[in-house]
Amino acid sequence: MKDKVFDYQTICDKDMPVAERRKRYIGNIWSNSIKCKKCNTVIRSKNLHHYVTCKCGAVSIDGGSWHSNFNGNIEDMENLIEYFNIIES
């Protein structure tokens, strides 16, 4: 059985103000995800150290809401990253 991974999207919405996100150690990326063009799998990193690889192993992503680290051939992936709306508190 795989360990459950904490998903920051369960405690906030896309309009959460920056100050509120920082209190919960959440960055500026709402959905840190890519699509593998080889196997058509969409993968999303759910927190800072959540490293995810597609079904065929061609691409992977890491970084959660803080940054995007990609592995694999750039031609094999489609960027699906979405950012939080800029809401000042």
Mean pLDDT of 44-54: 95
* Tokens 């699509």 -> residue: 35
pLDDT band at 1 (very low <50, low <70, confident <90, very high): very low
Mean pLDDT of 7-18: 94
* AA identity, residue 34: I
Q: How far apart are CA 71 and CA 69, in angstroms?
A: 7
pLDDT band at 2 (very low <50, low <70, confident <90, very high): low
* Tokens 């080889």 -> residue: 38
Residue pair 30/16 in contact (Cβ under 8 Å)? The answer is no
**Lowest mean pLDDT across 25-29, 36-40, 83-87:** 83-87
Considering only CA atoms, which of 59, 33, 35 is closest in space to residue 46? Answer: 33
